[in-house]
Structure 1
Amino acid sequence: MLGFVDSLLLLSSLGFSLALLVPLTGALVRFRAHYNPKGLQLDPEGDVQPHTGPVISSFWGMLRRVYRLEGWPGLYKGLMPTLLSTLLITMFLLAILDDKQLRPHGSYTAPRTGALGMLAYSLFTMLVSLPQVIIADRAITTPHKLPYFNAIYSLRILLTPTERTRPWILYLTPGLLAAQVMHIAYVVLGLRSIRQLLIPGIASGSITRWEDVSMVRLSIFFVIALLSTAILAPLEVVSIRLAIQRNHAVPEFNSISQEEDGDAEEVAEYSGTEEDVIGLRTEREPYIGLADCVKRIIDEEGWGALYRAWWLTMLGTLGGAFS
């Protein structure tokens, strides 16, 4: 068990991290979720219609737009589900781990184990946190103002009646689990295995001097980590698009009555503007899977939509690879 000082340092570190990362994460989720179809679209009658929604071309542009339209409350949308999830995980870790697994700056490391053990650990963590990720992404992208301390009201806005009645259906969101598993498998079985092969000293933490590291092998791994962005960035964009796509009626439910019971409630929006921060794709033609999502994004928005904020993925890949 950790002492009082260590626990206080850990909680302080988490609080500072949330204060800094929640606005940045919110801007990233909105930027990648934003539906920005090509300039000309066809309406149901086949006539050409120009796109009239907002056009956001950069991560920093999205961050400024959120602040301009919604202010500080908009920047911290998604705070509560992230905070609750973080606190639950932290309390669990404090209860079962000791100070030997606590890093100096107050965070925990994943258990050191083989590739398959790490894969199982990562998949388990992903499955536990998936509902929270879905709720947080939807809380960030919704145009509605959600109260911080009324979870029931917020869930009625973020989840469909089908999802509230059968919460396990969140795990059946088309393509979402596949995207998450592919991302984890590539990082754990791909990048970590290559790191272990090329630079085992860094992987095991046994290197004490950089003079002992082969610069050729390190450079090769660095290039591989950079090129991995081409695979990981689209998976991250697709995961967000699929997470915010709500699951509507299952066969034994009536979709019309569902829309009348909950989905059409009057809810508060941010005052001072009628302009939407982002455009969202209609739910009338949902993505039906991972491959379908990738294909439609390319067809409707172009390849660039799959690589929004790719440089953040690159930084995260390099940071994780050398951690």
Structure 2
Amino acid sequence: MPGLFEFIVLSLTLVVSLVVSLAITVPLTGALVRLRANYNPKALQLDPEGNVNVHTGPIVTSFFGMLRRVYRIEGWAGLYKGLMPTGVATLVMTGFAIAALDSKRLASHGRIDPPDVGILATLVYGIFGMLVALPAAIVTYRSIVTPYRLPWFRPLYSLRILLTPTERRKPWVLYLTPGLLTAQVLHISYTVVILRSLRTLLLAGDSFSSVKFGIYVLIEMLSTVIICPLEVMTTKLAIQRNHSAAEYNSVEQEVEDDAIEAPEYAEYSGQEEDVIGLRHEKDPYLGFADCAKRIIDEEGWQALYRAWWVTMLAAIASAAAAASQYQGTMVGSD
């Protein structure tokens, strides 16, 4: 019975932690995704037919400004867009972590912390976890930026809105979204190979050094220069839908939309504007390098560093957690 009691306590703890975590993080994550996904070119653009396109997204330059804009236009329901896919992904990955790795913590953003093994094994583990979580991340990002109201308990209906007919017929096409896997693999490789190696070099040892810890924190903070653009490009690429039409390029964008008939938030709020502007699906990013170049050319290099301070805070928290882990290991060995 003690084992059953411990299991019940652990389950209740995880459920409460999940509810509290989602209540806090979903609105914040939603504002972050929208801010980075917002398409706001600096100058007039030409559409695929060569006509001048004067459409631009709203000029929102701050994280909290986007949070206020979401609440003003879409209300509380808009703040919690993406709740269901985030919750389901977290539950699934946390269940896997408990069953396979004996973890007692919630998975973060649909992923679990890698085991304490070698760099190569950790890299393979991180890439595997990314591949497992990628479809859920795509669905979550799209559910956040879509202007359509998605019912919480009708997943098939919601997927018909979020995914194109091509993606529903061939789900593996999600992995072929141009540039997305490259951005994710680069992010994981830098985090595991570079940062993990430096963390082991500076923090592992018989005694804790505040100087070495300060150096590692500085390295984590400077890594924002590399990591933040990868996160921004991941967001923009994840919401780029894949179609099938022979007359278009490798992304194969369809001429018409998918005949979506669903109510929009604007119809309920009385607003005549969407929260963000999205790039036209007829003019997609063709790959990782093309995405980086076109963001810089069209929106300016500053667009690659939207909400950079969020990435930096996450880096500082990661450094603090690593230091705590190594200190705990040293105390345990004593």
TM-score bracket, shorter-length normalisation: 0.7 to 0.9
Within 5 Å, give how 1:30-179 maps onto structure 2.
30-38=34-42, 40-43=43-46, 53-98=57-102, 101-102=103-104, 110-179=114-183
Structure 2, gaps ≥5 residues long:
322-334
C-alpha spacing 1:298/1:109, structure 2 compared with 1 (3 Å): closer
Tell me the equivalent position of 1:248. Answer: 243
Specify the code of the residue in structure 1 equivalent to 2:201: L
- Asked whether the equivalents of residues 78 and 137 of structure 1 are also in contact (C-alpha less than 8 Å), the reply is yes
What's the offset of the Cα at 1:16?
0.6
Matched, 1:318 2:322: no
Tell me the equivalent position of 1:209. Answer: none
C-alpha spacing 1:79/1:47, structure 2 compared with 1 (3 Å): closer
- Asked whether the equivalents of residues 102 and 109 of structure 1 are also in contact (C-alpha less than 8 Å), the reply is no
- Asked whether the equivalents of residues 42 and 49 of structure 1 are also in contact (C-alpha less than 8 Å), the reply is yes
Q: Provide the rounded CA distance (Å) in 1 between the counterparts of 2:192 and 2:122.
A: 7
C-alpha spacing 1:278/1:301, structure 2 compared with 1 (3 Å): same
- Asked whether the equivalents of residues 98 and 104 of structure 2 are also in contact (C-alpha less than 8 Å), the reply is no
What's the offset of the Cα at 1:256?
11
Per mean C-alpha deviation after superposition, the further-off stretch among 240-249 and 7-16 is 7-16
- Answer 1 or 2: higher relative contact order, Cα 8 Å, separation at least 6: 1
Sequence identity of aligned pairs in percent? 58
Matched, 1:6 2:16: no
Q: Show CA shifts across 1:264-286 (max 9, x none).
A: 22210111212110000111111
- Asked whether the equivalents of residues 225 and 318 of structure 1 are also in contact (C-alpha less than 8 Å), the reply is yes
Structure 1, gaps ≥5 residues long:
207-211
Specify the code of the residue in structure 2 equivalent to 1:221: Y
Q: Provide the rounded CA distance (Å) in 2 between the counterparts of 1:306 and 1:200.
A: 33
Q: Provide the rounded CA distance (Å) in 2 between the counterparts of 1:48 and 1:319.
A: 45
Count of equivalent residues? 308
Tell me the equivalent position of 2:261. Answer: 266
Q: Show CA shifts across 1:12-66 (max 9, x none).
A: 111110111011000000000000111x314469897766541101010000000
Match of 1:297 among 295, 298, 311: 295
3-state SS of paired residue (2:283):
coil
Q: Show CA shifts across 1:91-146 (max 9, x none).
A: 33343454xx436x999753211111211111111100100000000000001111
What's the offset of the Cα at 1:183?
0.2
Specify the code of the residue in structure 2 equivalent to 1:293: C
Tell me the equivalent position of 1:287. Answer: 285
TM-score by length of 2: 0.85
C-alpha spacing 1:53/1:89, structure 2 compared with 1 (3 Å): closer
Specify the code of the residue in structure 1 equivalent to 2:44: Q
Match of 2:228 among 230, 233, 239: 233
What's the offset of the Cα at 1:288?
0.5
Specify the code of the residue in structure 2 equivalent to 1:244: I
Q: Show CA shifts across 1:73-103 (max 9, x none).
A: 00010111111111222233343454xx436
- Asked whether the equivalents of residues 46 and 53 of structure 2 are also in contact (C-alpha less than 8 Å), the reply is yes
Structure 1 moving runs of 4+ over 3 Å: 42-53, 93-98, 105-110, 250-253, 255-260
What's the offset of the Cα at 1:251?
4.7
Q: CA RMSD for the aligned pairs?
A: 2.7
Match of 1:218 among 204, 213, 217: 213
3-state SS of paired residue (1:146):
coil
- Asked whether the equivalents of residues 93 and 107 of structure 2 are also in contact (C-alpha less than 8 Å), the reply is no
